[in-house]
A and B are shown apart, each in its own frame.
Chain A
Amino acid sequence: MDKNAFIKMVFEKAKAAGFSDCELIVSSGEEFEVNIFKGEILQYTSASSDGIGFRGLYNGRMGSSSTMVYDEEAADQLVTNALEAAVLIENEDVQFIYGGDEKYPELESYYPALADVPAADKIALAKELEKTALSLDERADRTEGSEVIYSMGSSRIVNTKGLDVSSQVNMTAAFIAPVLTENGKSSTDFVVESATDFEALKAKKDEMAQRAVKTAADFLHAKSIPSGEYKVLFDNDTFSTILATFSGVFSAENAQKGLSLLKGREGETIAAECLTITDDPLRPGSMASRPFDAEGVACYAKNVVENGKFVTLLHNLKTANKQGVKTTANAGRAGLSGSVRVAPTNFYVQPGTRTRDELAADVGEGLLITQLQGMHAGANGVTGDFSLAAKGYVIKDGKIADPAEQFTVAGNFYQLLKDIVEVGCDLKFGMPGGSCFGSPTVWVKGLSIAGQG
């Protein structure tokens, strides 16, 4: 059945079933991935998918459901499932179906030329990337993967209040993870880069391979370090990961549920003065950018932390109404049938002025951390506690020196925000997905390190 006819049918059935207002999100996506191993295709994946999510207000409660089938039976099931869900819900928060804004920001997020890159070119790039990486060092004899991916997503939100908005994003990315082996010890590192232009991605190939091989080579000879309190620099990638892991503390939804210690602390100083954190949904070239949020509210950039002062939590219509403020247009939807939650967009630490080497010179003796592992287990998004396996380099006499591994770094995110000494100028964003996180190098006064000795 034609999608528009299906939408109309669902709206009619929902009205007849007693829903006062309802909304559909129509999403579709394309994925392509090729992985090369020793010059041959190891895995080739291609897909297209679509689905429709429904949410509707029934006696003030929001029920939701989803389907990937578009016939009359599916329309009935969509409405019935949402109705069954709505009558079970007891939460009394006021829920919204939004009629839309007058104006939405113009956003460049879809790059038609990317969609037309032939599979053969992507395969060729993945092969070249592997070949380059393996040619750089004779100890590199294989990889854990040499991949090129392409991803496209589109979504349309249409509701009975007259909202009908659409957006489309796409991007391409490459991944290389060389494995180096020497005297029976293996070491690996991965580098991933994304682009909105295929030629630009190709141009990054050599630098990606060099960076991955150099890092893997460094860690062939890494050693553990003595336990103790260290001055720590987190490199840009690593602090992005920390920010991503703890970004939930800035969600108004979590705060209202007692799952963030930032509840009611707007206006307070919660971080060092050098720290400003921004959420910018309009950043060009990011898959996390969007003109409107999951409720159809027009998006805009805002500081969440400004010079150490806590400005605002991230809100959707429900949490904003509950707190008596205006939404920050950060509604996000977890899956098609997921309820509307709060999600950051491009969420990042604003850069300072000095380079990583300049910061290291002032650190004198300390540690540069370049990798963290086990974030999903060793970091608690509610309490802020973290205790994580790490890798990096010893900072000696103000210089980045010997590689270090087999140690852990432990602390608490809330405390860490206060203990930031300075942020570097090397702002870098991670891989864009539903949200995208970015940071420059961040200097933290002191953290507890556990090593061998």
Chain B
Amino acid sequence: MIPKKLIESALGRAMRTGGDFAELYAEDTRSMNLSMMDGKVETAAGTRSRGAGIRVYNGLLSVYVYGNDISEAGLMRLAEQAADAVGSLRGKDADVTLVGSVCANIHPVKYLPTDVPGTRRVDLVKRAYAAAKDYSPEIAQVIVNLIGSEKDVLIANSEGLMLPDKRVRTRISMTSVAAGNGETQTGSESPGALKGFEFYDEIDVEKLARDASKRAITMLHAENCPAGVMPVVMDGGFGGVIFHEACGHSLEATSVALGNSEFCGKLGQQIASEKVTAYDDGTIPGEWGSTNVDDEGTPTTKLLLIENGILRNYMIDRLNGRRMQMAPTGSARRQDYSFAPTSRMRNTYIAAGTDDEDEMISTMGDGLYCAKMGGGSVNPVTGEFNFAVSEGYLIRDGKIAKPVRGAALIGRGGETIMRIDRVGPNMTMAQGMCGSLSGSVPTNVGQPRIRISSMTVGGR
């Protein structure tokens, strides 16, 4: 993408005002998207974006400069701007020697999404649309979006690293709108992977489309969820969003290094119920949140976060590692070249336990069973989190009584993960986009079915 000599010069120039470390991140991304509404292809577009950013450290000072002119003149200009922001005394360019290397690719791709003929893409989207629409006459609209991207990155730094990586991602999202009695309700499924178009041969797109429609209809005929404090059972898959919000963000060095997390200084201490063991794993082949190396060129890891309730590790990027005097964990991520990287989750999940799935419900008394969760958010400083339930059922006396809509769950992370009193045996994951300081990145959430002894449930 960029000649080695040029990168060496740019990194050297970037350090001429006293910087002790310089890094270049360049990317060239081709993406395609296709959307369908009313059974017709509504939009189709091909996009190419290309750009680079140069980051310079001087101790804990971090400067990031980016642009999309990656010519020699463009890169040297970025390097000079970065240097001038680090200090005003211009010394000599630093000597930087890069050793080109390659990273082992553990995420093989068969069909690049951008290579797949348009007609095949249209065919897939139509199958999903038809399955969702034909599910019931109450389905008034179905929206299908198909996204494929091929991101070539190049990461180089003044320690000599020069590493290219390729990330190919594929995702289809299906949203069904059920309408009746002047109201609408929605249901959606959005499977994705760090794979090519072969992903669609591995999943049953039509079944997922019908699931989305089924959920929309269930919710159309559901009553509003009552408000109150009650026990809550959450299924696997997207249920893992609870760990993501209640705990995951607060274990990112982004918050921890600045003292802005309720879990600061708690390594080796119990922060969760003994039932909880959790990982953040960037190495699972083909998973949505995986990569070979992180966006600083550090190989990704399978990181034990919590072991039987005891906090074992934080997710750490290079800069915050300096601040915390701890080694990076391959967790540095960014949406694209327009963001400086910081520590972020990859595929984060509560590991399988041994509790019986039926017993959790039959012994819970009155409460809420969440078959499918929506997204959420958290303030790591206070630990206050919230998330939405997209398919919920009221439990009365240990039995599923009726579907309820509009439930929201809130709490404080630390308190909530101490209240996990059951963890089931079947861990599943689901895909999401996570937004934070370094933009929106693909992440997996996951867990087996779990129970929380008491939570505040919002409804009306």
Binds A, one of B155-163, B221-229, B269-277, B285-293: B221-229
Please state if A339 and B259 are interface contacts (CB–CB under 8 Å): no
Cα distance, A339 to B81, chains bound together (Å): 35
Please state if A77 and B458 are interface contacts (CB–CB under 8 Å): no
Q: Which of B51, B375, B379, B388 contacts A188 (CB 8 A)?
A: B379
Please state if A377 and B45 are interface contacts (CB–CB under 8 Å): no
User: B460 — which chain A residues lie within 8 A by C-beta?
Assistant: 387, 410-411, 447-448, 450
Please state if A186 and B262 are interface contacts (CB–CB under 8 Å): yes
Nearest-CB distance from B174 to chain A (Å)?
14
Interface size on A, residues (CB 8 A): 78
Q: Which of A42, A144, A373 contacts B384 (CB 8 A)?
A: A373
Interface size on B, residues (CB 8 A): 77
Binds B, one of A45-53, A167-175, A348-356, A360-368: A45-53
Q: Which of B177, B225, B375 contacts A382 (CB 8 A)?
A: B177
Please state if B408 and A374 are interface contacts (CB–CB under 8 Å): yes
With an 8 A cutoff between CB atoms, is B387 at the interface?
Answer: yes
Given known A44-B64, A257-B37, A373-B377, contact A378–B405 (CB-CB < 8 A): no
With an 8 A cutoff between CB atoms, is B130 at the interface?
Answer: no
Please state if A40 and B61 are interface contacts (CB–CB under 8 Å): yes
Produce 1/0 per residue, A432-448, CB < 8 A to B. Answer: 00000000000000011
Q: Is the interface of B mostly helix, strand, loop or mixed?
A: strand
Nearest-CB distance from A340 to chain B (Å)?
10
Please state if B34 and A144 are interface contacts (CB–CB under 8 Å): no
Cα distance, A166 to B6, chains bound together (Å): 36
Q: Which parts of B44-66 form the interface with A (CB within 8 Å)? A: 44-51, 53, 60-66
Produce 1/0 per residue, B84-95, CB < 8 A to A. Answer: 010000000000
Inter-chain residue pair count (beta carbon < 8 A): 238
Cα distance, A200 to B214, chains bound together (Å): 54
Please state if A377 and B227 are interface contacts (CB–CB under 8 Å): no
Cα distance, A407 to B41, chains bound together (Å): 42
With an 8 A cutoff between CB atoms, is B299 at the interface?
Answer: no
Q: Which of A51, A64, A376, A449 contacts B45 (CB 8 A)?
A: A64
User: B382 — which chain A residues lie within 8 A by C-beta?
Assistant: 185-188
User: A59 — which chain B residues lie within 8 A by C-beta?
Assistant: none
Of chain A, the residue at the smallest CB distance from B49 is A68
Given known A224-B456, A338-B45, contact A43–B386 (CB-CB < 8 A): no
Please state if B456 and A377 are interface contacts (CB–CB under 8 Å): no
Please state if B38 and A410 are interface contacts (CB–CB under 8 Å): no
With an 8 A cutoff between CB atoms, is B101 at the interface?
Answer: no
Please state if B81 and A46 are interface contacts (CB–CB under 8 Å): yes
Cα distance, A14 to B338, chains bound together (Å): 31
Nearest-CB distance from B41 to chain A (Å)?
4
Given known A374-B387, A450-B228, contact A90–B40 (CB-CB < 8 A): yes
Produce 1/0 per residue, B381-393, CB < 8 A to A. Answer: 1101111100000
Produce 1/0 per residue, A377-388, CB < 8 A to B. Answer: 110101101111
Binds B, one of A80-88, A101-109, A125-133, A396-404: A80-88
With an 8 A cutoff between CB atoms, is B9 at the interface?
Answer: no
Cα distance, A60 to B60, chains bound together (Å): 56
Q: Chain A: residues with CB nearer than 8 A to chain B?
A: 37, 40-51, 63-69, 77, 81-82, 84-92, 119, 142, 144, 179, 185-188, 224, 227, 257-259, 261, 335-339, 373-374, 376-378, 380, 382-383, 385-389, 405-411, 447-453
20 A-B pairs in the complex with CB atoms less than 8 angstroms apart:
A41-B61, A46-B65, A47-B66, A65-B47, A67-B48, A77-B48, A81-B48, A89-B40, A179-B381, A186-B262, A224-B456, A376-B375, A377-B387, A378-B386, A383-B185, A408-B456, A408-B458, A450-B227, A450-B458, A451-B227
